[in-house]
Amino acid sequence: MYSAVTLTLRHAPRSWTPGRAIGTVISGNKTSQQVRERLKRDVEKMGAQFPRFRPGLVVLQVGDREDSNLYISMKLKAAAQIGINANHIRLPKTATEAEVLRSIKAVNEDPAVHGLIVQLPLDSIHPIDTEKVTNAVAPGKDVDGLTSINAGKLARGDLGDCFIPCTPNGCMELIRQTGTSVAGKRAVVIGRSKIVGAPMHDLLLWSHATVTTCHSKTADLPAEVGRADILVVGAGKAEMVKGEWVKKGAVVIDCGINHIPDSSKASGKRVVGDVHYLSAKERAGFITPVPGGVGPMTVAMLMENTVESAKRFLQSYKPGKWNITYTNIKKETPVPSDTVISHSCSPKPITQLAKEIGLLSTEVDLYGESKAKVCLDVVKRLQKNPDGKYVIVTGITPTLLGEGKRTTALGLAQALGAHHNVNALACMRQPSPGPDFGIRGGVIGGGYSQAIPMEEVNLHLSGDIQAVLAASRLVANAVDARLFQESVLTDRALCDQLVPQDKDQRKFSPTQLRTLKRLGIDKTDPATLTEQEITRLVRLNIDPDASVWERGLDTNNQSQSLMETRLARMFNIAVASEIMAILALSSGMDDMQQRLEKMVVATNRSGEPITTEDLGVSRALAALLRDAIKPNLIQTLEGTPVFVHTNPFADIAHGNPSVLADKIALKLVGPEGFVVTEAGYGADIGAEKFFDIKCRTSGLQPQVAVLVATVCGLKLHGGGPTVLAGQPHPKEYKEENLPLLEKGCSHLKRQVQNCQAFGIPVVVAVNTFETDTEAELDLVCHAAKSAGAFDAVPCSPRAEGGAGAVELGEAVIRAAEEPTSLRFLYDAELPIVDKIRVVAMEMYGAKDVELLPEAKRKVELFTNRGYGSLPICMAKTPLSLSHDPEKKGVPASFVLPIQDIGVNVGAGYLYVLVNVELVFPREPEWPCFHDVDLDSGTSHEDCLL
């Protein structure tokens, strides 16, 4: 780029006399080659400073014009010689204006592209506004210099802050090569196009020439030309400027490209410029030939603009680092309520946050200004990017109020991002309406470490849970409908219903064709089916007394506890549904579809499983979940990105955020960044399921496990009195009590060992509160380190946000450098009972397990059906290492009773029921919905979260 200052001569001016005729040819080929060599050296320097970096150029073409193809090939060849990574995007002649604009938008947002050329003319069968299209190019990537913004800057003399159109820029370079000083000279420009004439006028003017622009209405054109010391012609008319018009000794720059008949040429035509070259050469001091003059320089200047754009990009480029802004929070003491804090902060527009972390606008679906869904296209785009560092946040066995895992996880993410200046993204489960309106209230962090907008996250967010609920009810309705149809219709009538006639013809649906193939019936015409084949196709013979599918509910229902066990099992909250577990474990749309097809939702009268595919409902389920599978993007109070996605119930499922959220996050943060994800309940439940189910499914390997503990929680495990929601804490938790705390630290040691069992370094985060004393915190940290923790750090994320977790962030960064070797607790091929025994003994400290009759029956049944090699998901009380919620600390010498076993074939695991009542939790006597209204939203002021 050349500013008014840099548009000085590169060589000492030659002695130049206006009446002196030299006729020296200015070679564009030679000059352009010199420019290319200089640019090649510049690109090599960039690569040396930033390995693997290359300037990027995209040429966007509509149609297939022969002349455009020739120009594009010249540009691509020049880019390759210099070291520019050039790509050609060709849209068909059928492309619409909207399609062209979408392509431009995608290139605008691609950080690997620094220059974008829209090849003109746009050869489409549809009308396209060329002005609108050229102005759609981002000014910072407009290396053709055609946008109104760049043209406006050039017109007002801001030459150092714009891109100059390539042909005028090339003309100026050729003039400089003559050694001619432009300042003070009389210049004439013929033509006023936006591409050549108008910008050429501006360039000469800001180089201090006296400029006249001539056009079709100019009177006495020969006289105007005859006064020009510098003549630039871009009229598009073959040889219109005659040699006798030219002032002797003038510099003549011919921008014309015209074809005239010439029988001596094989093509029957030859290329000439706008100036009669032979006669003008006799009078001009310097003149450009056609071809070989301005044309090569246009391409060279295009390359120069691209390299200049890349240089500008590198001025703010930090390899692997987001260009993200964080919010400074004004903290208050004492800490206000979560609702007050949430409402006191203004989140960044979600479009800004998405851009900051490297998402393209086409990869986010906006849900208002503060939340968005991330489209799965990003998975393919980033698939070759290296993963970041993976951190799981778990905890000790919690009190009824929790130990603050989410608050700590969000505080850690804020500390890593805003305070340690590394890319950091948190992945959280979406709160369920059950806890929101039940005992705990909203659960998405607390104090100054919470995700916002709080109310929207705690209520509907983007409707994922509602989609799961709708899918769950659809399955139940499909089962009911099939039961009714089979009870009242003959096989033939049922077949007519399932294969309806359309225009005097019946056709099998894709699902029915797959069913026929599975049944070994090789037919595609319904009319050819025999009576026996019709029966096999349409008659599922569902056993109404052995249905295994549970109807979905939004929230907990107290009345369920009054129902019979069999009837109660017919209902469940949405997050406990297998559909939610499938959503959380799926790696993409296809994987989700296949998992949904495998779901066993009923059995027939022979005891054989019936799937959603048998019912013909699996594709409809996938359609209902097409948006729910996309992770939700929100932010913390400090502006750190957060993915909130899925909530497989930690009691009956694995209790972790989605695989997709974690995978996308790991690609976005880059190899030096961190993804902080969470696991439900204590390490014996949430972390075990995270490793043995989620990591086994995803193939991801974490680098660090953060174990959250509180002094209050450890005192409870040391034998302290029960802590109840909404009631003041007993004095044991408000005053220093080292003996009680030391006794409870045995539980902390056990949970540290539980995490270490998977081969991952453990950092203990002691979530502190104002009642904790220094001696108590020292005791906990010492106990954690003596148990083998990599480090133990007090933190105060609720009261201080990211600043309260800086030391924790340092410990996590150091721990992430330690060598790891992820190992699962058991081999999935072990017999079902052996896998249960391993978890019970290694995680809970049980002496053995006891299978009750129903559990024994299920072991035999599922083994015979081929489900024996699935991993297991333990459904056990989260309030104790044992099956008894009243037993705190480290229970010993207990036998773990196994009441029942179920299978989620689609999700891919067996669930083992230690406590059957966990399948459907009850509400408290005074649930939180009494305190929810339009103004307050949901909250959890009495919680430790």
pLDDT over 80 at 200, yes or no: yes
Determine which helix (DSSP H) or strand (DSSP E) holds 311, and give its type and residue range. helix 294-315
The model's pLDDT over 637-662, given as tens digits with 9 standing for 90+, comes to 999 999 999 988 887 889 999 999 99
- Calpha distance 317→315 (Å, rounded): 6
Where does the pLDDT of residue 724 fall: very low under 50, low under 70, confident under 90, or very high at 90 and above?
confident
**Quick one: tokens of 11?**
């060589």
Q: CA 526 to CA 524: how far, in whole Å?
A: 6
**Is 745 in contact with 792 (CB distance < 8 Å)?**
no
pTM of the model: 0.84
Q: Long-range contacts: 209-215, Cβ < 8 Å, 24+? A: 209/182, 209/183, 209/184, 209/185, 210/184, 210/185, 210/186, 211/187, 212/186, 212/187, 212/188, 213/188, 213/189, 214/188, 214/189, 214/190, 215/190, 215/191
- Of 746 and 20, more confident: 746
**Other CB atoms closer than 10 Å to residue 762's CB: what's the count?**
26
Report d(CA 911, CA 26) in Å as an integer: 82
Instruction: Report the distance separating Cα 295 and Cα 276, nearest Å.
Output: 17
* Portion of the chain with pLDDT greater than 70, in percent: 90
User: What pLDDT shows up at residue 514?
Assistant: 86
Report which of 828, 881, 849 is spatially closest to residue 696, judged by C-alpha positions. 828
Q: Report whether 704 contacts 815 (CB < 8 A).
A: yes
Q: Which residues contact 528 (CB under 8 A, 6 or more apart)?
A: none
Give the integer Cα–Cα distance in Å for 892 and 881: 9
**Both tokens assigned to 321:** 């680092």
- Residues 863, 864, 869, CA angle at the centre, nearest 5°? 35
Q: How are the residues of the chain apportioned to helix, strand and coil, as percentages rounded to the nearest 5?
A: 40, 15, 45
Q: How far apart are CA 56 and CA 79, in angstroms?
A: 9
Name the β-bridge partners of 89.
60
Decide if pLDDT at 237 tops 70.
yes
User: What pLDDT shows up at residue 230?
Assistant: 97
Helix (H) or strand (E) holding 270: strand 269-272
What sign does the CA torsion over 381, 383, 388, 391 have?
positive
Q: What is the pLDDT of residue 929?
A: 53
Longest dimension (CA), the chain: 114
Taking 90 as the threshold, does the pLDDT of residue 827 lie above it? yes
**Tokens 């029957």, residue located:** 268
For 439-455, write each residue's pLDDT tens digit.
444 568 899 999 998 87
Does residue 797 have a cis peptide bond before it, meaning omega lies within 30 degrees of 0? Answer: no
Give me 870's structure tokens. Answer: 């699935």
> Is 30 in the active site?
no
| pLDDT score for 380 | 93
Helix (H) or strand (E) holding 174: helix 166-177
* Residue 233, strand partner residues: 190, 254
**Rounded Cα distance, 336 and 771, in Å:** 17
pLDDT tens digits along 733-776: 889 999 999 999 999 999 999 999 999 999 999 999 999 999 99
pLDDT of 932 reads 56
Q: How far apart are CA 117 and CA 129, in angstroms?
A: 16
CA distances, 276 to each of 252, 585, 728 (Å): 11, 73, 98
Q: What is the pLDDT of residue 650?
A: 80
Q: How confident is the model at residue 266 (pLDDT cuts 50, 70, 90)?
A: confident
Q: And the tokens for 121? A: 């003319």
Instruction: State pLDDT tens for residues 112-128.
Output: 999 999 999 999 999 99
More confident residue, 590 or 11: 590
Residue in 30, 45, 75, 856 annotated catalytic: 75
Q: Could you read off the pLDDT of 767-777 as tens digits, one per residue?
A: 999 999 999 99
CB 232 within 8 A of CB 184: no
What per-residue confidence (pLDDT) applies to 21?
47
**Tokens representing 862?**
């599922």
pLDDT at 7: 35
**pLDDT confidence of 572, banded at 50, 70, 90?**
low
pLDDT in tens, 830-850: 999 999 999 999 999 999 999
| Per-residue model confidence as pLDDT tens digits over 322-374 | 999 999 988 998 999 888 898 888 889 999 999 999 999 989 999 999 999 99
Rounded Cα gap, residues 625 and 838, in angstroms:
36
DSSP per-residue codes, 378-392: HHHHTTTSPP-EEEE
The predicted-structure confidence for 596-633, as pLDDT tens digits, reads as follows 999 999 999 988 999 999 999 999 999 999 999 999 99
- ∠ at Cα 474 (470, 477), nearest 5°? 135
Please state the separation of Cα 715 from the chain's center in Å: 41
* The token pair that represents 307 in the structure block: 């390299």
The pLDDT of residue 300 is: 95
Cα dihedral: 298, 301, 303, 306 (round 10): -130
